[in-house]
Structure 1
Amino acid sequence: MRTLGCAEGICLEVEDNGPGIPAPAREAAINRFARGETSMPGTGLGLAIVQEIAALFEAQMSLSEGAEGRGLRVRLTFPAPAAESA
């Protein structure tokens, strides 16, 4: 997990080295109960929950390939904090 400044605000990235999600299936993967690999344990709720929590904080979630073509990278982009007036 890492945080970094990005053009849109503040980004939080979480990356694993598992089987990943093929690009054509990533959009569907954020739907509740969506599971690509059904032989593995899981309910298909994880990314849907992350998406809902991100929306509460006005963050955008994106899914991409992990480092060296392995795994999955989830990036949450939070808007830059508003400047406080003195």
Structure 2
Amino acid sequence: MSSVTMSEFRSQQSSLIAAAQREPVEITSRGAVRRAVVVSPEFYDRALQALEDQADVRAAAAARQESGRVSQEELEQELGL
């Protein structure tokens, strides 16, 4: 991951956004305080999907523990499938 200061990001915005298509770019200020991370839309979409998948797995596990058994139909309905 690349790391740049806020002022560097301001002066090199276009090239750093292009670099974020290959790897995340961390933006810092006041020495080392991380302020933001710029990523490609594809990276963002994959990360968001992974978080949603984890939430679905946790919800299914919780449903199984509540009543001991969950039908496939109930699980699909809960997961919105």
Question: If you compute each CA radius of gyration, which structure gives the higher value, 1 or 2?
Answer: 2
Tell me which protein shows more strand as a share of its residues: 1
- TM-score, normalised to structure 2, is 0.25
* Greater RCO, CA 8 A, separation 6+: 1
- TM-score, normalised to structure 1, is 0.24
